[in-house]
Copies of this chain bind each other. A is one copy, B any other.
């Protein structure tokens, strides 16, 4: 049971760090800044995280976990709304677009991409978490695509694994656009375009 006071402080550190990192990037977020926000001394901070890399690791892990929860929620609900695997996936994508429309900064992709771009700076452990998250998303989406493909023979010759990766890619790319233009809707737009492609692949473009 990790419900002591320390766990709560640790979480407050992670919350403060998340805000700053998503706003300014990891390197531009200082320990002193986070420590002040939480109301700790430097020693207090270092009691919870031995160094900044350790903080990055915890931050990324938490993000990935939260992400899995969100995906579970959305696609489970979509599956409830429609028994057909393809249409459940399409409904899930619409729900996903809605969910991401307001808060692109809250999406884990931000954190994953932020880490992917920092690259060499981080140790192997963190890079593995990153890669692992992308791989788990691939498996998740691929399973749904394969289920859809069984009932609907694809009308476009695509590699389903790449098509699965395309959703991750669309989210990462959509986040870049959203941040550059400072308009969150771009992320939702890209997810919906992906949805149209999936629809075209399995259902064709017939009116």
Roughly how many angstroms separate A117 CA and B117 CA in the complex, as a whole number? 9
Known contacts being A158-B193, A204-B205, is A176 close to B119, with CB within 8 Å?
no
Are A172 and B177 touching (Cβ within 8 A)?
yes
Known contacts being A120-B23, A189-B162, A200-B156, is A174 close to B169, with CB within 8 Å?
yes
Across the interface, A117 reaches (CB within 8 A) one of B127, B179, B201, B204, namely: B179
**Minimal beta-carbon separation of A200 from chain B (angstroms):** 4
Are B169 and A119 touching (Cβ within 8 A)?
no
Roughly how many angstroms separate A171 CA and B171 CA in the complex, as a whole number? 12
Q: Is A170 an interface residue (CB 8 A)?
A: yes
Roughly how many angstroms separate A63 CA and B179 CA in the complex, as a whole number? 19
Q: Is the interface of A mostly helix, strand, loop or mixed?
A: helix
Are A116 and B176 touching (Cβ within 8 A)?
yes
Roughly how many angstroms separate A204 CA and B159 CA in the complex, as a whole number? 18
Known contacts being A119-B24, A120-B23, A196-B156, is A166 close to B190, with CB within 8 Å?
yes
Are B118 and A28 touching (Cβ within 8 A)?
yes
Are B113 and A28 touching (Cβ within 8 A)?
no
- CB-contacts of A94-122 with B (<8 A): 110, 112-114, 116-121
Interface membership of chain A positions 133-172, coded 1 if the CB is closer than 8 angstroms to chain B and 0 otherwise:
0100000000000000000000110110011011011111
Contacts of A179 in B (CB 8 A): 116-117, 119
Roughly how many angstroms separate A173 CA and B176 CA in the complex, as a whole number? 8
Please give 4 more A-B residue pairs, beta carbons under 8 A apart, in addition to A134-B181, A162-B193, A173-B176: A24-B120, A27-B27, A117-B176, A169-B174
